[in-house]
Structures are given as structure tokens and as C-alpha cells.
Structure 1
Amino acid sequence: MRVMFAVFPGPSHVPPVVPLAWALRAAGHEVVLVSHPGTAGRIEGTGLAPVALGEPEDLAASVRGCAADPRMARIVDAFGLDPADPAGRSWIGTYLLSAFRHYYLTDQAAGPRAMTRRLTAFARQWCPDLVLWDPLFFPAPLAARACGAAHARVLWGLDHLAWARERLRAGTAGTAGTAGADGTADPMAELMAPVLDEAGIDFAEDLLAGQWTIDPMPARMRLPVDLPYLTMRRIPFAPARVLPEWLSGPPERPRICLTLGHGEGRPDTQGARLVRAVVDAVTGLDVELVATLTSGQAAVAGPLPDNVRTVDYVSLDQLLPSCAAVVHHGGGGTFAAAVAHRVPQLIAPPEVGDYAAIARYVAGRGAGAVLDGATATAADIREQLTGVLHGDRYRAGVTDLYTELLAAPAPGDLVPVLERLTRLHRERPAARKEG
């Protein structure tokens, strides 16, 4: 069969789908990864076939536009989110909904509306049997509907938008223009109507939630959403690089990794403060700190002691096997790599997103600790590192998380399941012999 992955153009959105895409290729299926032009180079580095459609995207401008749009504020209010949780409201209402606004409510001829047209045209020409889409790439289910393909989401984090959508549906109707139990209409369906009308498609929940969802996060972390999920083991992926010579043998002393992830490549106040605190914590300790910092982060970190090595990039799959601990921001990819290599995690999460939830999960399972990036001192961090280096702190929890990871189906295990679900949900007869 032919499988089209539709990837949102963010730097951390490609790696979660690569192992599944390669599992499908290894099983003999045809696979392409479709995204905006700015993501094509990152896809090329995976060895998979990229298809670049539409225009380069300014994601920061989309977020700013969403924050100032009263239509988005109406949706956030309808979700019934906790007013006492401004960070959660900001994450869902600004960052996640910015993609919804971007593709459904911006109608420049060469802009987001054009992506829906171009993706639909490509899907009709290429004829995928299955479309697997990033939960923020909203044109994908429309293209799948237009060509009769089965379609499902592939998550990269917790399913916050589906959780909020379910809260909205509890008080409103599921189709545009129809009043719900509280007398209000469905604001998301109403705003989708012009694009759906142009495409000749009726509203349905699968346009927001997929016909099913592939979830690479631990099942115990899953939000209470009544949708069909397939659990998939998250396999860490990073672009291949030549192994640095300094990693070709065992470290001479305990090695600590410090990373702020793909999305933290700017020297913001919290990131700069955390870097300095970690550097001060290891000063005088018989350890080696490997800090994956951009030039901007290295500059604001200030003078570094001899036991600190800075690199702009190194694959965590290459680095973490030699590490006794990792200090990071709580990103899903870093979390998965640390679990896969059984490394204790000290996490200083930003306020929004999945970061704090991942940090709490790691700490709750006894595999690490949560640091407050705004207040943690060098002494606090040194105490945590000393406990890791000179005792069994977190060892049982690390093993528990690793065992949980291995219990989840690997991407290759999902291939026959996807073949069956595709046959069940595809809306047209197969035009080719199955691959």
C-alpha cells in the first residue's frame, strides 16, 4: 500500500514519525513524507522521500496572530479550561490552536488555504491508501477524505487538543450551526465551514481527531479521552552523524549531559540561568559535563571550567549510553532517549506544553527529579547529581521506565495492524495490488 505522512513544519515534529515510516518501508510499502518547504531538508536527512508543498511558514507569526484573535478566545472559553491554570490555557489556546487558525482561518491565495488545495491535489494524484498525519497538520484529513484514503493521527506528545475538544463537545453539538445542550453552537465546526464547503466535505469529528490515533507516549500518561488509540514504542531518532572521536571510548570520569532540545535554541532567561546553575554545580566535581549548546547559549553561560565540554549538536543515541545522568528541559524526544538508554533524568521544564507533565511523570516513577529552572541553585543541582553518582538513587525507577518502554509495541509490530485498519477504513477499492 501507499502511505503518506503529513508532517507539521516544526523542528521536533519529524523525528517521532521516522521509525514508523521506516517500519512501513521495510515491510514493502511505499512511503512519502509531505510538509512545507522548510521541513524538506530535515526529512531528507532521514533517508525517506520528502514532498515539499506550499510556502515557507512563519510559525511565530501564527502564534502571535492566534493570541490576538477573538475567535480563538471564544473556542478556549468553550473548552471550559481551568481559569486557575493560565499556562494550560495558553498552551492549548495559543500554541495548539494556532495551527487550527493557520490552516482554517487564513485565506491568502498563496498561504495556508492553498496548502489544503495543494495537498488535496497531490493526494488525488499519488493515491495513498493511508494518510498518517501530525495532529497540527489539519489539511491532511481533508486530503485523505478527498482521495478516499484511511487516515490517522501520529502524536508527538500528550493529546491536549483532543482532550479539550472532548470537553467542548460535552456542552455543544458535533456539527456546525447546531445548538448543543447548553444552547451554544460548536465554534470549531463553525469556523471550519468555509474551507469544508470549498472542498465539498461535511464536518465530522475525524477531521480533528483522525479515524484512530497512534500514541508514542507511555500509556500511563494518556489523557482521559474516549478515542481509539494504538500505543507505539517511541524509538529515539536523530540525524546520522560521524561518531565524535571523544565518544569512541569510555569516559575517563562520570559524564553528565545537559541539553535544552531543538526548541530551546535561543538564550532565554530561564535557559541561560539553568545552564549557568548546572555549570556551577559541576565546578570542582570529578565529572565531565557535555553541554549541547548553541553559540548564543554558550555565550550567555559565561566562563566554563575545564570539565565542561560544549558542542552545538551530538546525537543523544551516541552520547547518552556513556552518561550517568541527563539534565534537560522535558522534551518528549529527550525523555524517550533517556528512557531507552536507562539514564536518570533531572528536568527543569518550561511552564507550557508537555514538559511539566513529563517531568512529573519521571519523578513520580522514581526515575529522576524535577528542577525549578527559575529558582534551582547550583547547590540543589549538585546535591541531585551527587545522589546519582554515588548511590542507587533512581536506579529502580529508571529500570521500571525501560521495562515499560519495551512492553509497548515497536513500530514494526504496528504494520499489520495498520494494514488491517486501512482495509477497514479506506473508502475506495484498491487501485493497485497491495504492497
Structure 2
Amino acid sequence: MARVLVCVQPARGHVGPTKPIVAALLAAGHDVAVVTGARYRETFEKLGASVNVLPPAADFDETDLDGSIPGRAGLKGLKLARFDLTNFVSAMPAQLGSMDLDVDVVLCDPLFMAGLALVRREPRPRVLVLGFLPFLPPVPSGPNSAVLKTFARWVLGPAQRRARDLLGEDPGMLFADWPLHSDGVLQMTCPGFEYPRTGAPLHFIGPTTVSAATEYPLPPWWGDLDGSRPVVHITQGTIANDDLSRLVEPAIDALADEDVLVVVTTCGGELSRGPLPANVRVADFLPYDELLPRCAAMVGNGGYGGVNHALRHGVPLVVVGASQDKREVAARVTWSGAGIGRARASVSPRTIKRDVRAVLTEPRYRDRAKELAAEMAAGPSMAEVVELITA
């Protein structure tokens, strides 16, 4: 029996892919403790894990980020990005104080910045990273490198200085690069969707999130998904959905006159528009493992988990996103050939209509999405993932 400590930020997009791994470890007879926020304590206790709740200095409410994180309200764009990165680093001492390191292995969220301190320690337990975020590429060299490096210093500099102050010395790496210095990354995608990297071993385990009708009940209109029209799913994810006019509402307008059935999930957000077009169906959440096999395309803002969940079912993508890591995800959608990615905060209904038509009518997008689905299906089973973690 192995002793495993799982450290995960209290956010749906982080907890969702972590739950199946915790459940599989427990089912295999291993001892699992979880460190996360108060909002998800019951989630992991129901699985049978012991849970240590983060103190207020490191906890937050993903449904009210501005209200639960002092100093965040009113910030936008790159200023918000700088603040969030520095805030993640500032949680390091409180996170470390919540961790019992008398374990064999630590599974760590890449945004759980205690990992930066752990990978620099000797001796220490094995540290494996829960790879439900894309790796950020290094700043490229070339004629524009000076400008890019200056830009990176402005965005990342405050968090890097905070990391140095908390550690008492220069960390010897960019704070966000600590996963590359771990003992391995359980990357929740397939090789065809992720840029080649050097550093810590990458173990491609595919998306792990399970989203079934037992978790999200089917709406009364579910029978409309009868295959008579192509289904296009639209979502802004679970975090960046405070303003659905950035993507969901323009996409609804774009597809109002198309011969498709539009299925929208608001994920806690609220539509501000008036009556919906006749071809639109709306729910707060839906079971993806029931919905996505019925979809011909998905329009989203680039959440890494949602995108890979779609690819697991061979669904081609239209991605428009610029917040958090979504620029990187949009770039990978285009690079992989599984859809059209636009690293922008919003686009016009005309552009969305053109992009959706392209992924519906040009076979190369669906063919590539199916190739990536086959890669994921050929990846390790959950039992093999458990063996990898506990070996």
C-alpha cells in the first residue's frame, strides 16, 4: 500500500479530473489524503479520502473570485493576470503548512505553488504533477525576443519576486516551470495535442474527467438530440463565464439561422439576451459523456479539460479565448489540426458562423479529432495510471 498526498486547487476544472484518480487509488487499496479548499471537502470525503482543508489565506471560492480574493475586484486584462499569478505564489506558505509530507508520493496541481518548494527539497517524496493545464512554451529567441522577454518580465516579474522572497533565495527556475523539475507529469491529453517538451517525463494519460447523467440530470428537451440535425455545443466553461456576451451569445446569434441544434451550457453564468432562437436549448450543466457523442462540433473558450473531453469523443472544435491559459489552448487546437483556435477575448458572430461551418463541412477537422480520440483510447487504463503513481 502506498501513501499518497493529493494537492488540488478548489476549482471545478481542477477537482473534476482529480476525482477519478483519487477514486482509483482508493479502490486499489492505497492510503489517500487530499489537501483542497472547503468547497470540495465533502467531494473527496465521499470517495473515502481524508481531507485537510486549506486555511483562508490559500482558499477561495471559484464562483466568487473577486469576493473571496482581496484586492482582485476591478482588475482586468494583464493587470489581472499579474495579480492572479502573484496570488497563487503567495499561497505557498499556507499550502505547505497544510501538507503532511510523511508520504510516498505527492500528486500536485500545477497551480498549487507549494510544488515549487517541494521540488527543491532533498530528501522529499516523489512529486508527480496533475497535468490538466497546458505547459507554457519558453519565450522564443529571434529578432523579437527582446520585446517578448520584456513583456514576460512585466507579467511574471511580481510573482517571481514573491517566490524568491518566500523561499529566501532565487528559486533557480521560473516559478511556473516547477512541474518540469518534478518526477513526472500525468498530462491529461495525448501526444498529438501537446507540444514536445524537455524536462520532467511526460506521461500522456488522456482526460480523466467523468461527466455522466448520474451527476447532471438530463433536461426535458433531451429527446430533441435525435440525430435529425447536427448538434453544436457552446460553452464558456466554469470560470470565465461572468459575461456570456463574450462568446456564448455571439455564437447563439451566429447559428440562429443555421440548420443545426445549438446546445448551450451556462455553467453558472446568465444569459442577458431576450427570447432564444428556435434551434437553441439551454442548461446550466449537462453530462458531457452523454452530450459529446451526439455533437458534430463544440464552440468553447478554451478550457483545457473541456477541449480534451471533446477530443476524447472525436468532436472538432472552434475555440475563442484569451484569459488564463486559454490562448495556449486555442493555439494547440489550431496546431493539432482538430479545429480552429483564435487567441482572442471575443469575435464577431460572422466569424463564429464561418468557423463552425468550416469544422462541420471540411472533413479534415473531424478526421483529425477522431485521430486524437484514437490516441487517447490507446493510452493507459486507470489501473495503469495507479501503477505509475504508486510504483
- Give the TM interval when normalised to the shorter protein: 0.7 to 0.9
Aligned CA RMSD, in angstroms, stands at 3.8
The aligned residue for residue 39 of structure 1 is 40
The aligned runs of 1:97-246 (5 Å cut-off) are 97-104=86-93, 112=94, 115-117=95-97, 119-120=98-99, 123=100, 127-139=102-114, 149-160=125-136, 190-193=164-167, 208-209=178-179, 210-219=182-191, 221-222=194-195, 224-238=197-211, 240-246=215-221
Give the corresponding residue for 1:14. Answer: 15
The residue that corresponds to 1:261 in the other structure is 237
| Closer/same/farther in 2, CA of residues 103 and 148 from structure 1, 3 Å limit | closer
CA distance 1:219–1:295, shift in 2 (3 Å): closer
Alpha carbons 1:283, 1:305 under 8 Å: kept: yes
Which AA in structure 1 matches 2:388?
V
Residue number in structure 2 paired with 1:247: 222
Residue of structure 2 equivalent to 1:327: 299
Secondary structure at 2:363's aligned position in 1? coil
| Number of residue equivalences | 354
Query: What is the distance in 2 between the residues matched to 1:163 and 1:358?
Result: 15
Q: Secondary structure at the match of 1:409?
A: coil
SS at match of 2:373: helix
Q: How far apart are 1:339 and its partner, in Å?
A: 0.4
Deviation at 1:258, TM superposition (A): 0.6
Deviation at 1:289, TM superposition (A): 0.9
CA change 1:273–1:163 in 2 (3 A) is closer
| 1:254 CA displacement | 2.0
Question: In terms of mean alpha carbon deviation, does 375-384 or 129-138 score higher?
Answer: 375-384
- 1:292, 1:250 → 2: CA distance? 18
Normalized per residue, the structure richer in helix is 1
2:163 and 2:361 mapped to 1: Cα distance?
56
Structure number, greater radius of gyration: 1
Does residue 1:379 correspond to 2:368, yes or no?
no
Deviation of residue 223 (structure 1)?
A: 6.3
Q: 1:419 to 1:301 in 2, by over 3 A?
A: same
Alpha-carbon distance in structure 1 between the residues aligned to 2:347 and 2:124: 53
The letter of the residue matching 2:287 is: S
> Are the counterparts in 2 of residues 233 and 410 from structure 1 also a CA contact under 8 Å?
no
Deviations 1:306-326, CA, capped at 9 Å, x for gaps: 211111111222211111111
Q: CA contact under 8 A between 1:366 and 1:396: conserved in structure 2? A: no
How far does residue 373 in structure 1 lie from its aligned partner after superposition? 5.7
Q: TM-score, normalised by structure 1?
A: 0.69
Aligned to 2:309: 337
TM score, norm. by length of structure 2: 0.76
Could you say if the C-alpha distance between residues 48 and 340 of structure 1 is closer, same or farther in structure 2, counting changes exceeding 3 Å?
A: farther
Map of 2:253 onto structure 1 = 280
Partner of residue 74, structure 1: none
Structure 1 residue identity aligned to 2:32? V
Equivalent runs, 1:358-397 vs 2, <5 Å: 358-371=329-342, 376-390=347-361, 392-397=363-368
Identity of aligned residues (%): 26
Q: Could you tell me which runs of 5 or more consecutive residues in structure 1 were left unpaired when the two chains were aligned.
A: 69-86, 105-111, 165-185, 197-202, 421-435
In the TM superposition, what is the alpha-carbon distance from 1:190 to its structure 2 partner? 4.0
Q: Classify the secondary structure of the residue corresponding to 2:286.
A: coil
The alpha carbon displacement at 1:337 in A equals: 1.1
Native 8 Å contact 2:35 2:51 kept in 1: yes
**1:330–1:317 CA distance, 2 compared to 1 (3 A):** same
Give the match's secondary structure for 2:35. Answer: strand
Q: List per-residue Cα deviations over 1:70-104 (Å, max 9, x = no partner).
A: xxxxxxxxxxxxxxxxx88974x443342112324
How many angstroms does 1:296 deviate by? 4.7
Q: Which amino acid aligns with 1:34?
A: V
